[in-house]
Amino acid sequence: MSEPVLRAEGLGKRYGAREALHDVSFAAHAGELVAVIGANGAGKTTLLSILAGVQEPSSGSLFRGEGQIGWVPQQPALYSKLTVAENLRLFARLERVSDSERVVARMLEQTGLSERADERVAHLSGGNRQRVNVALGLLADPPAILLDEPSTALDPGQRERLWGFISELAAQGTSVVFSTHVVAEAQRHAQRVVVLEGGRVLFDGTPAALALEGGGDDFEQAFVAFLRGRSEP
């Protein structure tokens, strides 16, 4: 297998006395779609924000290869008084992307928002906002992109379009790491799942392997059974 685009070894994060992450090791390769799943408070957002460079880990090391890592936070990080194009242009300039106008045009086309380029973000639907949010993470054409619960607050149609877009990115060679608490999404879209519980990695493998280990009739039941099996003495 090729060199990972993103690699973490023994990551730990403490907030005072509370340990949010403990000895988390993890790697993502080019073109790979990796889902980080777990219950609320398992440490998914903390792990992704450390990988994105938003937070510093308390311990452990992180390897982020050449090029920037794209970051798509859970809440759309957009200026609602600016238009779609103005948001993209601003962040392209801040990220010192060469030929920012061409990149903005490409992202508008890629996300299917060209016709709404001059519309203020405040007037967009939740799905379109999330598309702009993802587009901002892709401005620097990163080799890897991190998405924190990207489908939250989207209706089924919007969710489907978003996953189509993300799958296409991975098919083009971008390493995609996303967190979700909707385990069915992980089963459908991810090639690999990382299960976090209490800040620790309990499982790292394919969705099929997790289903097998959990032993339930469907993936969600298998996941719940897996967590229960690990928590019981």
Partner 1 sequence: MRWLLGKDLLILRRSRLLVALLVAYPVAIALLIGFAISASPSKPRVAVVDETPPGQTITLGEKRVGLDEYTNELFDQIDVVRVPTRAEAVSKVASGDVLAAIVIPADIVSKISSGVSQARAEVIYNGDALKQSFVRSAIDSALAQANLALSQQIKSVAVHDLNLLLTGGRIGPLGSQKLIGLRQLPGTLRSIAQRQPPGEDRATLVRVAGFASLAANNLGIAADVLTTVSQPITVHSTLLHGKRTPLDTYAVVVAVSISLMFICVLLAAGGIALEREEHAMSRLIRRPSGGGGALISRAGLLAEKASLGAVCGFMVAFAMLLGVSAFVALDLSRIGQWVIALGFGALGFAALGIAIGALAREVRAASLLAFLLSLPLAFLALVPSGAVAAGLYHAIGVVSFVFPYKAALQALDAAVNGASPGLGVSVAHLAGVTLLFGVLARLGLSGAE
Residues within the interface to partner 1 (CB under 8 A): 49, 52-55, 62-69, 71, 73, 75-82, 86, 90-91, 93-95, 136, 140
- Least distance CB 208 / partner 1 (angstroms): 33
- Least distance CB 109 / partner 1 (angstroms): 22
- Least distance CB 62 / partner 1 (angstroms): 7
- Least distance CB 170 / partner 1 (angstroms): 20
- Least distance CB 126 / partner 1 (angstroms): 14
Smaller CB separation from partner 1, 93 or 188 = 93
Whether 77 and 137 have beta carbons less than 8 Å apart is answered as: no
Smaller CB separation from partner 1, 83 or 187 = 83
The pair of three-digit structure tokens given for residue 98, joined into one six-digit string: 């060469």
CA–CA gap between residue 134 and residue 145 (Å, rounded): 9
Smaller CB separation from partner 1, 36 or 195 = 36
Smaller CB separation from partner 1, 53 or 215 = 53
The sheet with strand 59-64 has its strands ordered as: 18-28, 6-15, 59-64
Smaller CB separation from partner 1, 136 or 222 = 136
Whether 127 and 154 have beta carbons less than 8 Å apart is answered as: yes
The alpha carbon dihedral of 69, 154, 161, 156 has a sign of: positive
Tell me the backbone φ, ψ of residue 197, rounded to 5 degrees.
Answer: -145, 125
